[in-house]
Amino acid sequence: MEWRHAAERGAPHEAEEPPVRVCEHPECEREADHRAPRAPDDLRSYRWFCLDHVRDYNRSWNFFAGWSQNDIERFQRDDMTGHRPTWPFCNGPGGRRREELEEAFRIFARDWLGGDDGQNGHRRPGGHPLSEARLEALALFDLTPPFDLDALKRRYKTLVKRHHPDANGGSRESEELLKHINQAYNYLKKECS
């Protein structure tokens, strides 16, 4: 095969430039580089504006115009899950009972942490019995042994901030979970000292 210089082969065809968009604002002839959605119910088709006019358009845009307060709140709640359906943990499409899930978790935790599950007083190589309370505390804190007191405290602070009843609208469930977090923290803190 014979190699030739690019100039000898001929220059590649120049691509045609796409047509220039003109700003859709009345009496504006500038180039439109910025897109904006046409309407709240049609977010995938756009209007094109120059920079100054897209700023004006965005300032006047109100996605929730004409919505009631309840509709806005419902939309915001649904937006947390990407508007996908949700259901309580144990009542999902599989319909598994809570006891089945807890047993599956115990088996997983035992295999994941290694050693015996704490029955008959057996101990794992770290020397701590794998009691059900310890497994639950480790699972709640999402920690794997060995860990130090600093790691435990960091995780505790994160969980308290996330599940504090004041941060969750005074939820009773959050209050109960916070009690379990405090119990698990006290249990695991003894292990670190």
- Mean pLDDT (whole number) for 124-134: 60
Strand partners, 37: 46
Cα 150 to Cα 44, 120, 183, 184: the distances in Å are 49, 32, 17, 15
pTM, entire model: 0.36
Residue 156 CB partners (closer than 8 Å, separation 6+): 141, 181, 185
- Pair 120, 146: CB distance under 8 Å: no
- The string of pLDDT tens digits covering residues 50-78 is 999 999 999 988 888 888 999 999 998 88
At 51 the pLDDT is 93
Confidence of residue 122 (pLDDT cuts 50, 70, 90): very low
pLDDT of residue 139: 84
